[in-house]
Each structure stands twice: as structure tokens, then as C-alpha cells.
Amino acid sequence: MDNPEIIKNVKLAINPKYQDWVLFKNGTYIIFDNADTIKNVNEEAIKQMKEYGPVFVGGPAGDFNTIHLNQTDGWLVSGHGYGMYTYVNPAEIENKTPNDIEIGLFGRSKRDLDGQKPEIIYTNSRKK
């Protein structure tokens, strides 16, 4: 999935009341409730991604929930780390009728990629 497509889908997936968020290359994003108190949101996002993004067997990052979206196709996978979610597009999964575990494991693997090599592709901010 190319960047404009993932950005569009993530914008539709996020509740509009949340205006401050940072999106990483593989679809993981972090919502900031208090962005106005953070000196550099991108630096903070990378710090949190390095801390909470990587998945270790038996660690808290292994737990996840799958959220079905209404405003766009796909799902969000939530887990360890406040305000951190990973967007999964149906086109990314081979099984055309995946269950929540398949979606969650795939989303968790995408989050792990973002955690191992965090690369920000988009920052949304209420202050322009």
C-alpha cells in the first residue's frame, strides 16, 4: 500500500477529536493527548515506538485487540503502549475472510517492524 493510501485510511480510522498523531511507515501510529506539552512530537513518537513497538515473545507487546473500522476498510490492532495502534488493510492479508487473531498477529508484526526501524511518514497536528 502506498503512503497516500495508508494516510487516507488512517485519517478515516482515527476519531476526529484526536488531531495530534504520528504515523510510521508500516501503519503504526501514536495519538498524543497532550501534544502541546511536548517539545518535539516526532522525537517523542520515535522514543515511544522504540520502547513499545518491538514485539518480544512473552512480553506485554504480544497482547493485542482487533478493532473493526466503520469509516474505512480494514482494522486497527491495539496493544501495549497508550495511544498506539496499527492499521491493517484487507489487501495486505491473503485470507479474504480473516479472523481477529489472524488480523491481530499480522498487525502486531507490522508494529514490530515499525518498532525495530521507526520511520515517520506523516505527522498530523491541530496547530498548523
What DSSP assignment string belongs to 73-93?
A: SSEEEEESSTTEEEEE-GGG-
What's the pTM?
Answer: 0.91
Decide if 65 is inside a domain: yes
Decide if 20 is inside a domain: yes
> Quick one: how far is CA 24 from the chain centroid?
7
Decide if 88 is inside a domain: yes
Decide if 19 is inside a domain: yes
Decide if 43 is inside a domain: yes
Given this model, what pLDDT does residue 116 score? 95
Cα end-to-end span (Å), the chain = 27
Residue 121 has, within 13 A of its CA and on its CB side, a CA count of 18
- In sequence order, the β-bridge partners of residue 123 are 22
Q: CB-based contacts of 44: which residues, under 8 Å, 6+ apart?
A: 32, 38
Domain count along the chain? 1
Decide if 128 is inside a domain: no
Nearest 5°: the CA angle 21, 93, 22 is 10
Given this model, what pLDDT does residue 60 score? 61
Burial of 80 (0-12, 13-18, 19+ CB in 10 A): middle
Given this model, what pLDDT does residue 54 score? 85
Decide if 99 is inside a domain: yes
Residue type, 125: S
Task: Print the domain residue range for 11.
Answer: 3-123
Decide if 27 is inside a domain: yes
Distance CA 108, CA 118 (A): 14
Q: Spell out, as residue ranges, where the chain has pLDDT lower than 70.
A: 1-2, 57-62, 128
The grid cell for 24 is: 510510521
